[in-house]
Amino acid sequence: MLTIKHLDQPGYFVFATRGGLVKRTAISEYANMYASGLIAINLVPGDELVAVRITDGEADVCLATRGGMAIRFAEEHVRETGRATQGVIGVRLRGADQVVSLAVVPAGEHDSAELLTVSSQGYGKRTAFSEYPRQGRGGQGVITLRVTPRIGHLVSLSHVSGREELFALSQGGILIRTKVDQVSRYGRASQGVTVMRLGHDDQVVQALVLPAEEQVAEALDEGDTLQTPPAQA
């Protein structure tokens, strides 16, 4: 679910699928909405939609995989297409790996932005976005998390500034809430530290970053609309 002021505004929806495809479609393509809905994306048989983000056409896109890989490329490398299209290859997956997260970083925030990583065994870290080299679309990416049995697989990769709050939900139904700036900074290929302590056989299944209360208040004062990213499965 995305919050948007109106469907004839400039900008794009960027889609990512579990099979590594990405597509970009103008928001205005969805203006004539029917009660029965519209085709938003054509999926390859067996593929699934992972996430959608709103961009201005000049952002950098980052796809992250369950196996701990991430690729960063310029949004403009994804050609604009209509609604009923499949998209193009965003990341080439190894073996049974799959995409689990989509993050977009506006052009003006590349130097200050961070990416927050959360693993299935409750480990997390913040890493400077500048540590992720910009590559061409369709590569295999770089390591963003060293996946091991102790650390678990990657659950989510989110664009943060440090002022947000992190909500993590476990398979056993436990929910934690913590400030993003309390998650330590580590290098891109590191494992991070414990952000959620789990019971026996439990694991993190979703991690969601939400604006802090003061950010919401500031946005309301300025008349802006905050974007709330969808939960990552």
- Evaluate if residue 2 carries a pLDDT over 90: no
Residue whose token pair is 């609604």: 83
Q: How far is CA 60 from the centre of its chain?
A: 12
Q: What is the pLDDT of residue 3?
A: 83
Element (H, E) at 207: strand 204-210
What is the per-residue burial (b if ≥16 Cβ within 10 Å, else e) of 97-122? bbbbbbbbbeeeebeebbbbbbbbbb
Q: What is the pLDDT of residue 233?
A: 44
Residue 215: band (very low, low, confident or very high) from pLDDT cuts 50, 70, 90: low
- Evaluate if residue 231 carries a pLDDT over 80: no
Average pLDDT over residues 179-185: 93
Distance CA 37, CA 35 (A): 5
Distance CA 16, CA 37 (A): 20
Residue 227: band (very low, low, confident or very high) from pLDDT cuts 50, 70, 90: low
Average pLDDT over residues 136-153: 94
Distance CA 127, CA 117 (A): 8
Distance CA 120, CA 197 (A): 11
Q: What is the pLDDT of residue 117?
A: 96
Beta-carbon contacts of 133 under 8 Å, excluding residues fewer than 6 positions away, are 72, 142
Alpha helices in the chain (DSSP H): 213-222
User: pLDDT tens digit string along 58-88?
Assistant: 999 999 999 999 999 999 999 999 988 999 9
Distance CA 157, CA 224 (A): 25
Residue 18: band (very low, low, confident or very high) from pLDDT cuts 50, 70, 90: very high
pTM (2 d.p.): 0.86
> Domain-by-domain residue ranges, the chain?
12-222
Q: Which CATH superfamily is domain 12-222 in?
A: DNA gyrase/topoisomerase IV, subunit A, C-terminal (2.120.10.90)
